[in-house]
C-alpha cells in the first residue's frame, strides 16, 4: 500500500513518517517536492504515484500572517484538498485532510461544552475560514480530522517557543482566557493512521485528554522542563487577557473538541496532555 504524505518538513508530517505502519510505503513530499498551492502539480503527483492514501499534513499555518495573505492561505488550505479530491475521484484511494479547532468561533452562549464534529462552524479568521473551506473541498469521501494546539520535539510550536523565552527572560505574560487542548503530534499521527486503516470517511476530532489555557500550558511546560533539567529556573509567568495581547487574527476563546467519536471508533487510550507533554520534553532533551 502506498501513501502520499505532504508537509513532511513540519512536525505532523515527520510524526506521520515515524508512525508509518507495516505494509505501507510512504512518498514523502515537502514544499520543494510539491507546491500545495499548485493544483496542476498535485494532479501530476497523484497521476504519477497512484497512491492508495493521501495524508495531507501540509498547510498554511501562519494564523496572523494569513490575515494579510488570504489568497495564499486559501490556495494551500482549500485549493490543495480540493485538488487532491478531484485527482482521487473515481479511484478507491482515500484522502485524509487535517483541519483545526479554529473553524469554530469559541462562543457557545456561555456553555463550555466541547464541540462535536457536526456542530456549526463559524471561523473568526482567514486561517480558520480557509481550513473550513478545505474541509468542504475535501468532500464527503474524505476523512477530515480537526485538532488543536499541536506540538512536537524539534518542531516550531508553543512549547519550544516557551522554553526559549523562559531561558531568555525573567518574566513572561501569557494569555489565560483562551481555553483548548494541547495535542502531541505523535498521538495525532497514530490516530490518522488508525483512521486510514478503518477507512471510514467522515469528520472526526482528535486532541489529548484534558483542557488548559495557554497560561496553564506555559506553567506545565515550566514545571516539567525544570524537573528534566531543560530549565535552570522558572521565570515569573503572569496571566493576561486576550485584550492585553492583540493579534491580527481573532482566536476562539473556547475550542475544546469532543473526541468521543474517534475514541469509540479507534478504541485507543486517551492520554492526558500533561503526560504527553512530559514525553515530548524528554524527546526534546534527547535532541540536545
Over residues 70-98, the pLDDT tens digits come to 999 999 999 999 999 999 999 999 999 99
Cα 159 to Cα 153, 162, 213, 286, distances in angstroms: 9, 5, 13, 16
Q: Which three cell numbers stand for residue 276?
A: 504527553
Query: Parallel, antiparallel, or unpaired: how do β-strands 150-151 and 179-180 relate?
Result: unpaired
What percentage of the chain carries pLDDT values higher than 70?
99
| Mean residue pLDDT across the chain | 96
Query: What pLDDT sits at residue 288?
Result: 83
What's residue 108's pLDDT? 76
pLDDT at position 216 over 80: yes
pLDDT (0 to 100) of residue 112: 77
Three-state DSSP class for 205? strand
Measured on CA atoms in the order 47, 21, 59, 155, is the torsion positive or negative?
Answer: negative
Judge whether residue 264 has pLDDT over 70. yes
Contact 260, 270 (CB under 8 A): no
Nearest to 182 by CA among 110, 79, 255: 255
**Contact (Cβ atoms closer than 8 angstroms) between residue 143 and residue 204:** yes
Please name the fold of domain 2-152+181-209+251-271. Answer: Rossmann fold (3.40.50)
| pLDDT tens figures, 226-262 | 999 999 999 999 999 999 999 999 999 999 999 999 9
pLDDT score, position 44 = 98
Nearest to 40, CA basis, from 94, 6, 86: 86
* Confidence class for position 109, pLDDT limits 50, 70, 90: low
* CA–CA dist 22, 188 (Å, integer): 18
Matching residue, cell 535552570: 232
Residue tagged active-site, from 60, 74, 127, 151 = 127
pLDDT surpassing 90 at residue 27: yes
Query: Which position has the grid cell 518538513?
Result: 9
151: annotated active-site residue: no
Would you kindly state where each structural domain of the chain is located, as residue ranges?
2-152+181-209+251-271
* Coil, strand or helix at 211: coil
User: Among residues 138, 150, 194, which one has the least CA distance to residue 14?
Assistant: 150
- Find out whether 17 and 194 touch, Cβ atoms under 8 Å: no
Say if residue 90 is exposed, middle or buried (CB neighbours under 10 Å; 0-12, 13-18, 19+): exposed
Instruction: Provide the CA 245 distance to its chain's centre, in angstroms.
Output: 23
C-alpha cell at 85: 479530491
Can you say whether the dihedral through the CA atoms of 186, 188, 194, 196 is positive or negative?
negative
Instruction: Give the whole-angstrom CA distance, residue 110 versus residue 117.
Output: 19
How buried is 210 (Cβ within 10 angstroms: 0-12 exposed, 13-18 middle, 19+ buried)? Answer: middle
pTM: 0.96
Query: What are 137-196's pLDDT values in tens digits?
Result: 999 999 999 999 999 999 899 999 999 999 999 999 999 999 999 999 999 999 999 999
Q: What percent of the chain has pLDDT over 90?
A: 97
Instruction: Say how far apart CA 153 and CA 273 lie, in whole Å.
Output: 14
The CA dihedral of 245, 248, 253, 259, to the nearest 10 degrees, is -130
pLDDT band at 107 (very low <50, low <70, confident <90, very high): confident
- 10 Å CB burial of residue 232 (0-12, 13-18, 19+) is exposed
Determine the average pLDDT of the residues in 18-22.
97
Distance of alpha carbon 188 from alpha carbon 253, whole angstroms: 23
pLDDT for position 136: 98
Amino acid at each position: 500500500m502506498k501513501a502520499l504524505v505532504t508537509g513532511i518538513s513540519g512536525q505532523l508530517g515527520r510524526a506521520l513518517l515515524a508512525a508509518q505502519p507495516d505494509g505501507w510505503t510512504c512518498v514523502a513530499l515537502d514544499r520543494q517536492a510539491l507546491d500545495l498551492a499548485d493544483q496542476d502539480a498535485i494532479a501530476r503527483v497523484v497521476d504519477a504515484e497512484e497512491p492508495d492514501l493521501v495524508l495531507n499534513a501540509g498547510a498554511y499555518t501562519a494564523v496572523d500572517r494569513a490575515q494579510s495573505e488570504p489568497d495564499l492561505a486559501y490556495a494551500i488550505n482549500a485549493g490543495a484538498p480540493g485538488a487532491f479530491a478531484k485527482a482521487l475521484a473515481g479511484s478507491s484511494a482515500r484522502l485524509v485532510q487535517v483541519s483545526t479547532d479554529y473553524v469554530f468561533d469559541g462562543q457557545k452562549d456561555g456553555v463550555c461544552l466541547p464541540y462535536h464534529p457536526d456542530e456549526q462552524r463559524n471561523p473568526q479568521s482567514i486561517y480558520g475560514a480557509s481550513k473550513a473551506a478545505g474541509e468542504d473541498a475535501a468532500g464527503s469521501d474524505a476523512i477530515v480530522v480537526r485538532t488543536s494546539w499541536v506540538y512536537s520535539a524539534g518542531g516550531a510550536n508553543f512549547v519550544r517557543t516557551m522554553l526559549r523565552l523562559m531561558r531568555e527572560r525573567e518574566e513572561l505574560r501569557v494569555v489565560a482566557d483562551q481555553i483548548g487542548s494541547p495535542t502531541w503530534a505523535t498521538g495525532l499521527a497514530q490516530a490518522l493512521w488508525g483512521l486510514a486503516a478503518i477507512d471510514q470517511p467522515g469528520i472526526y476530532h482528535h486532541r489529548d485528554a484534558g483542557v488548559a489555557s495557554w497560561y496553564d500550558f506555559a506553567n506545565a511546560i515550566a514545571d516539567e522542563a525544570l524537573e528534566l533539567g531543560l530549565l535552570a529556573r522558572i521565570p515569573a509567568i503572569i496571566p493576561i487577557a486576550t485584550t492585553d495581547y492583540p493579534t491580527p487574527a481573532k482566536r476562539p476563546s473556547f475550542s475544546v473538541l469532543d473526541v468521543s467519536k474517534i475514541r469509540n471508533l479507534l478504541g485507543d487510550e486517551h492520554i492526558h496532555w500533561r503526560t504527553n507533554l512530559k514525553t515530548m520534553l524528554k524527546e526534546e532533551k534527547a535532541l540536545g
